Amino acid sequence: MEEVIDKLVEEVTALAQDELADFLPLTDVKWDDPGLVLIDEYPYAFVAPVVDEPKLETVGRAGYDVRSLVISIVFVINQSDYFDPLVSEVSGSRELVRASGLLRAHLRRLGKRQLDGLSGVRNLTVQSTNFVPDVRGDAFVRSAVTTLVVERQYQHQD
């Protein structure tokens, strides 16, 4: 699972430096949820492992296992950075919707379905995106949590 998360961190970092930079300038893309961060670290993203479960197992010396890896990619903003009492919307939520839409479109491209040929990756499916309010320390944050399922084949180890 580590290699898949490392590759997804690379993908989100590249997206952050290109398409997201204009409207959601991420300070960092982290490996897993850091929990509390400094106020000046918002907005940021993280890629976190959720589930690693077997999907298919074969036997024998040439056998292999296919595992379903459930992974979350999360964009996190500090809501107060987007507060404007003159409008009736929280613009940060709009930015999260845009960012998660770009992420889904990026990962649904044909080449990304196998994570650019990462060894053993059979398919990547974008399952869902949830928008979650939260309190982290002194910050009232909002997150866009995009859940992926990555099927990866592993050879049996003797």
Mind listing the pLDDT tens digit for each residue in 29-69? 999 999 888 888 999 999 999 999 988 777 767 777 889 99
What mean pLDDT comes out for the span 99-125?
A: 87
Q: Average of pLDDT values for 62-84? A: 89
pTM of the predicted structure, to 2 decimals: 0.90
**Mean confidence (pLDDT) of the chain:** 89
What gap in Å lies between CA 152 and CA 145, rounded to an integer?
A: 22
Amino acid at site 78: N
User: What are the structure tokens assigned to 89, written together?
Assistant: 């919307």
Give the pLDDT band (50/70/90) at residue 73: very high
What local confidence, expressed as pLDDT, does residue 157 receive? 63
Delineate the domains of the chain, giving CATH numbers in brackets.
Answer: 2-155 (3.30.2000.10)
- Whole-number pLDDT of residue 158: 58
